[in-house]
Structure 1
C-alpha cells in the first residue's frame, strides 16, 4: 500500500500576501472607526481566508495510530483536504514502512 503526499496548490507567499493586508486593514479600521460594519466585514473576510488556507494546506494533517495487517502499530498522518492532481505516491513496493520522520502518510480525508 503506497504512501501519499500532496503538494501545496498555491505558492507559499500567497497566503501571507492575502492575510497580511487584510489584518492590517482590520486593525486600522478598528482603531479609526471602532467596531463599525466595515471593520466587522474585513475581520470576517480575514478570518475566512485564514480558515480556507489552513484547511486546504496539505501540511496541516490529522495524526492517528493505525494497526497494520501484520500487527504492527504505526503513526499515520493524513491531510484534511488533498487535490488528486497534486498527489505523489511514495513507497510503491506495498510495504508498511514509515518515513524517516516516524510517520506513514496516507491519502487525504477529502480528495478533490
Structure 2
C-alpha cells in the first residue's frame, strides 16, 4: 500500500483547502456575530434616546395638563362669580323697579 507522491500532494492540498475554507467560515461567522452585537447595541442606544425624548414629552404633557386643569378651575370660579354678579344685578334691578313711583 504505497501512497504515491501525487496522491499525497493532492490529499495535502485538499486538507489545506478544507482548513482554509473552515477558517474562512469561522472568521465570517465571527465577524457577523460582532456586527450583530454592534448593530444591536446601536439599536438599544437609539431606543434609549427615543425613550428619554418620549419621557421629556410626557413630562411636558403632564405639566400642560396640570396647567390646563388649574386654568379650567379658575375659569369655573370666574364663571361662578359672573353668574353671582348677574343674579345680584337682576336683584338690584328688581329692587330699583319696585321702589320707583309709578
TM-score of the superposed pair, with normalisation by structure 1: 0.28
Q: Which has the higher helix share?
A: 2
Q: Which has the higher strand share?
A: 1
Of structures 1 and 2, the one with the larger relative CO (CA 8 A, separation 6+) is 1
**If you compute each CA radius of gyration, which structure gives the higher value, 1 or 2?**
2
